[in-house]
Amino acid sequence: MQDPERIGEARRTINRMKARFDDLGLTFDDRPLIAVIRPPLTKPSFGLAVGTIEPSGQVRFTFDRASAFRLKDQLVEQRAARPDVARAVHRTAFVYTVNKDHPSPPDICPELN
């Protein structure tokens, strides 16, 4: 069972981290970047993913492989050039990949098939 106090502290920490990232004003492919909080599964630890705000207002946080690595590389470059980005983007930032055993239906995420 998870300790509510530890979860509360983890939630406050991740919200501060999200706000710090969101305040940077970064973009990718001319779209604003935003941090997306990934909830804990079994431990009281959250994660942050990076997403783009699409013209519709929706947040996209899944990308084809090439775009995901291009986004990560851009963030690493920004981290090296800007101290504010270095405080918000951890040096061990990585692309989280999903093992996709089953292809998506042809009209859903065709770039992943």
pLDDT digits (tens, 9 = 90+) for 61-79: 889 989 999 999 999 999 9
- Model pTM score: 0.77
Q: CB count, 10 Å around CB of 55?
A: 7
Contact predicate 44/3, CB 8 Å: yes
Number of folded domains that form the chain: 1
Q: What letter would DSSP give residue 109?
A: -
What's the domain range around 42? 4-112
Low-confidence stretches of the chain (pLDDT < 50) are 1, 112-113
| CA distance linking residue 16 with residue 51, whole number of Å | 17
| CA distance linking residue 52 with residue 12, whole number of Å | 23
Q: What letter would DSSP give residue 112?
A: G
3-state secondary structure of 67: helix
Contact predicate 50/33, CB 8 Å: yes
| CA distance linking residue 1 with residue 110, whole number of Å | 40
Torsional sign, CA 85, 89, 24, 98 = positive
pLDDT reported for residue 91: 87
